Chains A and B, each alone.
Chain A
Amino acid sequence: MYRQMVLIRRFEDHAAESYARARIGGFLHLYIGEEAVAVGALNAARPTDHLLTHYRDHGYALVRGCDPKAAMAELFGKASGLSGGRGGSMHLAEASRHFWGGHAIVGSHIPIGAGMAYAMQYQRREEVVLDFFGDGATGNGIFHEGLNMAALWQLPVVFVCENNLYGMGATLAEESPVKDMIIRAEGYTMPSRQCDGMDVFSVYEAVRTAVEHCRSGKGPFFVEAVTYRFRGHSMADPELYRDKEEVGRWRAQDPILRFGEFCVRQRISSERELEEVNEQVEQEMLEAVAFAEAAPLPEESTVADGVYANPIDPEAAGPESA
């Protein structure tokens, strides 16, 4: 788990740097500071459980086992990227790992997760669905529509709200009448658990409970992980809405440092071992960037491919007559 958190951190440091060098375009939303959530949650689930996330999706992809090279190549808009260069940072996905995407319309994947959970229940399959989104998403109607259906039909879906206290520039107090997101679940009679999103164990335990609850057929579960993003909302964010002191206070709770110190204190790993992990990961990330840099662009002749799974070309058929 230490390695996974470092992997996310270093992947994103390199992504930010590549963004500054204009190798990555558009939006880039960093997950730095929130690593314990993806790592704790996904380790508490099975690799076959279905995963949907919001656009802040690099961390989930990496923990799910997606190749960092292919993830970085997607950010670079290359053909060998996870989504063939068609998706970008916000739309990573790898269906073979049951990772069904980063979703960039806030809240849109909440009913989609409920629908996937229905398909699992319908087919008597064992997988449950994990659906991650931010605090900001809870203000959108689609969040309520999705939770309502999941509760109504008792579907095996774990909703994980990553409460990082901001929805872009809006503070929690500006966007929500409730401070604790788990209160949202009450109206849907959905069991819930709040956890410390800066502590990988706390997240692991909450999601473990949630996943077991869902898998045993008891319906949906709501987890709130209280966390904090250390960087701006996206690379374009001047961060006018919060002060440095607040960021400093949260940085003192860095989930990687916290977990590293725990490992050393408990003599699970030595400082040197952790340092070795850091170095290995750094090396791997340098390779990922080099791979993405060198990877070929998507062929321009393929630009129209895949609009449909079953393209129908009336031109090829010729005119119809009476």
Chain B
Amino acid sequence: MAELSYRAAVRDALREEMLRDESVILLGESITGYGGSYAVTKGLVEEFGPRRVMETPIAEAGIVGFAVGAAMGGLRPVAELMTVNFALLALDQIVNSAAKFHYMFGQQWSVPLVVRTVSGFGQLGATHSQSFEGWFASVPGLKVVMPATPTDAYGLLVSAIRDPDPVIFIEHSLLYSMRGPAPPSGEAGLVPLGRAQVVRQGQDVTVVAYSRMLFQALQAAETLEREDGISCEVIDLRTLRPLDYPTVVGSVRRTHRVVLCGEDWRTGGFGATLLAEIQDRCFDDLDGPVARVAMRDIPLPYARNLEHLLIPAAGDVVAAVRSLV
């Protein structure tokens, strides 16, 4: 079976949508000659020219504002923000412009915009190692996608580009080189927004994850099966907003136990919202408290050993599951 990297899957989605639809344009910092800080857009300016692959100044708010305007003018812009840390400078345009216009102006127009950005870490220091999906997912009007596999990265990005609403598409820097089965080409490769996936079936505990944490969860599930005979059901959320609660709730009702995994901070992170909703929807089905694996509330330090201590990993998932069973 043909294999593809996560990076190539993202690039393929961009390229194919650009070939299919002339209104799709890319813009971002160092995405042309440099090829993007994670080399995702490499080769695209050579193929499509600077009119469709735009090198921008270092101006995150301006980039997103510009993309909002381009979308209102009839284009389908895909803006790249180097990392989610720099997306903070664009929060106003994302929250107050992109997410608001359709509702606030009485449904007169929508903003078909994709903001691609990146989470991750690796001794990058406190300002370059953060995860903010919980913030974005708290905003009505935005759709938030965090793919874990090449197949999903491809299929969800194509869906995001074709969607009429603003989508925040968060890739993971540690997944770019990961390889997986190549997605089916054409329409068969589309993955719908708003659908989670049960990646591994199990009876004892539901483990909810997304992005890099999916692989930590799967690894933990294997360890638990082998060492403890515990059977974990692992769910990949894929889209954080709108969230596929039926899939999560359906699983929790079968297993009666749940662990929520994320890389963002424990306080106010995405898991906190998910936890509240699960208590609300599944209180009587639960045999124990909802357990969480999240980043401790500390700015991520540079030193390798300290960083290692804080990054949520498979071992943390194993411990969380054991605490429940």
Please determine whether A145 and B61 come into contact, CB atoms closer than 8 angstroms.
yes
Q: How far is the CB of B151 from chain A (nearest CB, A)?
A: 15
Q: Is A260 an interface residue (CB 8 A)?
A: no
Please determine whether B93 and A149 come into contact, CB atoms closer than 8 angstroms.
no
Contacts of B97 in A (CB 8 A): 103, 105, 108-109, 112
Q: Contact mask A17-48 → B, CB, 8 Å, 1/0?
A: 00000000000000000000000000000000
Which A-chain residue is minimally distant from B89 (CB atoms)?
Answer: A141
CA distance A110 to B73 in the complex (A): 14
Please determine whether A95 and B75 come into contact, CB atoms closer than 8 angstroms.
no
Please determine whether B69 and A145 come into contact, CB atoms closer than 8 angstroms.
no
- With known contacts A94-B108, A101-B101, A122-B75, A319–B69 Cβ distance under 8 A: no
Q: Is B65 an interface residue (CB 8 A)?
A: yes
CA distance A111 to B96 in the complex (A): 13
Q: Is B190 an interface residue (CB 8 A)?
A: no
Which A-chain residue is minimally distant from B57 (CB atoms)?
Answer: A148
Q: Is B26 an interface residue (CB 8 A)?
A: no
Please determine whether A306 and B62 come into contact, CB atoms closer than 8 angstroms.
no
- The size class of the interface chain B forms with chain A is 35 or more
Please determine whether B140 and A307 come into contact, CB atoms closer than 8 angstroms.
yes
Contacts of B110 in A (CB 8 A): 309-310
Please determine whether A314 and B243 come into contact, CB atoms closer than 8 angstroms.
yes
Q: How far is the CB of A70 from chain B (nearest CB, A)?
A: 10
Q: Is A139 an interface residue (CB 8 A)?
A: no
CA distance A50 to B70 in the complex (A): 12
CA distance A103 to B106 in the complex (A): 14
Q: Is B245 an interface residue (CB 8 A)?
A: yes
> In residues 90-144 of chain B, which contact A (Cβ within 8 Å)?
92-93, 96-97, 101-110, 140-141, 143
- With known contacts A314-B244, A320-B195, A149–B74 Cβ distance under 8 A: no
Task: Give which listed residue, A86, A146, A320, contacts B247 with CB less than 8 A.
Answer: A320
CA distance A108 to B157 in the complex (A): 27
Q: Is A317 an interface residue (CB 8 A)?
A: yes
Q: Is A277 an interface residue (CB 8 A)?
A: no
Please determine whether A314 and B70 come into contact, CB atoms closer than 8 angstroms.
no
Task: Give which listed residue, B64, B65, B107, B140, contacts A110 with CB less than 8 A.
Answer: B65
> In residues 131-149 of chain A, which contact B (Cβ within 8 Å)?
141-142, 145-146, 148-149
Task: Give which listed residue, A83, A110, A112, A119, contacts B105 with CB less than 8 A.
Answer: A83
CA distance A114 to B74 in the complex (A): 13
Please determine whether A322 and B65 come into contact, CB atoms closer than 8 angstroms.
no
Which A-chain residue is minimally distant from B93 (CB atoms)?
Answer: A108
Q: Is A295 an interface residue (CB 8 A)?
A: no
Q: How far is the CB of B89 from chain A (nearest CB, A)?
A: 9
Please determine whether B67 and A82 come into contact, CB atoms closer than 8 angstroms.
no
Which A-chain residue is minimally distant from B199 (CB atoms)?
Answer: A322
Q: Is B226 an interface residue (CB 8 A)?
A: no
CA distance A108 to B141 in the complex (A): 18
Q: Is A120 an interface residue (CB 8 A)?
A: yes
Please determine whether B73 and A312 come into contact, CB atoms closer than 8 angstroms.
no
> In residues 201-244 of chain B, which contact A (Cβ within 8 Å)?
201, 242-244
Which A-chain residue is minimally distant from B69 (CB atoms)?
Answer: A115
> In residues 187-201 of chain B, which contact A (Cβ within 8 Å)?
192-201
Q: Is A299 an interface residue (CB 8 A)?
A: no
Contacts of A174 in B (CB 8 A): none
Please determine whether B199 and A112 come into contact, CB atoms closer than 8 angstroms.
no
Please determine whether A315 and B51 come into contact, CB atoms closer than 8 angstroms.
no
Task: Give which listed residue, B69, B107, B247, contacts A309 with CB less than 8 A.
Answer: B107
Which A-chain residue is minimally distant from B58 (CB atoms)?
Answer: A145
Task: Give which listed residue, A149, A309, A322, contacts B56 with CB less than 8 A.
Answer: A149
Q: How far is the CB of B161 from chain A (nearest CB, A)?
A: 13
Contacts of A153 in B (CB 8 A): 54
Q: Is B25 an interface residue (CB 8 A)?
A: yes
Q: Is B268 an interface residue (CB 8 A)?
A: no
Contacts of A87 in B (CB 8 A): 104-106
CA distance A137 to B250 in the complex (A): 51
Please determine whether B165 and A319 come into contact, CB atoms closer than 8 angstroms.
no
Contact surface of A with B, Cβ cutoff 8 Å: 50, 81-87, 91, 93-95, 100-101, 103, 105, 108-120, 122-123, 141-142, 145-146, 148-149, 152-153, 305-315, 317-322
Sample 23 A-B pairs with CB under 8 A, ordered by A number.
A82-B106, A91-B105, A93-B106, A110-B65, A111-B65, A112-B68, A112-B72, A117-B69, A122-B51, A123-B73, A145-B59, A146-B65, A306-B106, A308-B102, A309-B102, A309-B107, A312-B143, A312-B192, A312-B193, A312-B194, A313-B242, A314-B245, A315-B245
What 8 A-B pairs are tightest by C-beta distance, nearest first? A119-B73, A115-B69, A145-B62, A111-B65, A84-B106, A319-B250, A309-B110, A112-B69
With A111-B64, A310-B163 already in contact, 13 other A-B pairs whose C-beta atoms are closer than 8 Å: A87-B105, A95-B105, A110-B65, A111-B66, A145-B59, A145-B62, A148-B62, A149-B57, A307-B102, A307-B140, A310-B110, A314-B246, A319-B249
